[in-house]
A and B are shown apart, each in its own frame.
Chain A
Amino acid sequence: NAGVTQTPKFQVLKTGQSMTLQCAQDMNHEYMSWYRQDPGMGLRLIHYSVGAGITDQGEVPNGYNVSRSTTEDFPLRLLSAAPSQTSVYFCASSLVRGGNTIYFGEGSWLTVV
């Protein structure tokens, strides 16, 4: 099993550009989520999904869109990048919404200039 795979690992964007961070898991997990990690703030939930076709907002959803067309994939779209979106992004999954072990991808470092 590859676990949770994120791409790209590093990206530099110009303000106003859009892009998609890809996330895939091969563990047949129902629950998937996206976090951003900022210094001194821990991880904050952006969006999550409890199954294919179902998504919902987390703590900091503004400026981001998600979709879940398959169980395996959960892409995160930045609609119009802003410097405030410079961060490290983590995709995560668990077997079910209440699964007690969350599996994280290795992260995507995004810089918006």
Chain B
Amino acid sequence: AQSVAQPEDQVNVAEGNPLTVKCTYSVSGNPYLFWYVQYPNRGLQFLLKYITGDNLVKGSYGFEAEFNKSQTSFHLKKPSALVSDSALYFCAVREGYNNNDMRFGAGTRLTVKP
């Protein structure tokens, strides 16, 4: 069965600095990988996905993520953090076609300080 881990509960960065939110996964076959963001008292919003192709995928709000098959990682990155990026970030993985097989990480709270 697929699983995903976000090793950091909390990430703090200063505005303008690069940020990284880490994610590792475990699947038997080829992974479908996703990042979602949750702002306070809101639902999750889709940021980006990796299905196949280029290992570096670009998404909304200037975020990008790098798929690394050998390290089974899919870290979320942004070159220059904004205070408005402060939110809860979820990594998710599914192995096959079905969204009912999607597994979400526990989430990482990103705080960007001015």
Contact = CB atoms under 8 A, between A and B. Distances in A.
Among A44, A99, A107, residue most surrounded by chain B Cβ atoms (within 10 Å): A107
A56 B103 CA distance: 17
B43 to A, nearest CB: 3
A45 B43 contact: no
A33 interface: yes
B106 A40 contact: yes
A106 B90 CA distance: 16
Contacts, number: 60
Given A42-B105, A100-B32, A56 B46 contact: no
Interface residues of A, number: 26
Interface stretch (A12-20, A70-78, A79-87, A90-98): A90-98
A92 B45 CA distance: 11
A15 to B, nearest CB: 26
Interface stretch (B12-20, B69-77, B93-101): B93-101
Nearest to A3: B43
Contacts of A42: 90, 103-107
Contacts of B105: 42
A42 to B, nearest CB: 4
Please provide the 6 A-B residue pairs with the shortest distance between their CB atoms, ordered closest to farther: A104-B43, A98-B97, A42-B104, A43-B104, A104-B44, A42-B106
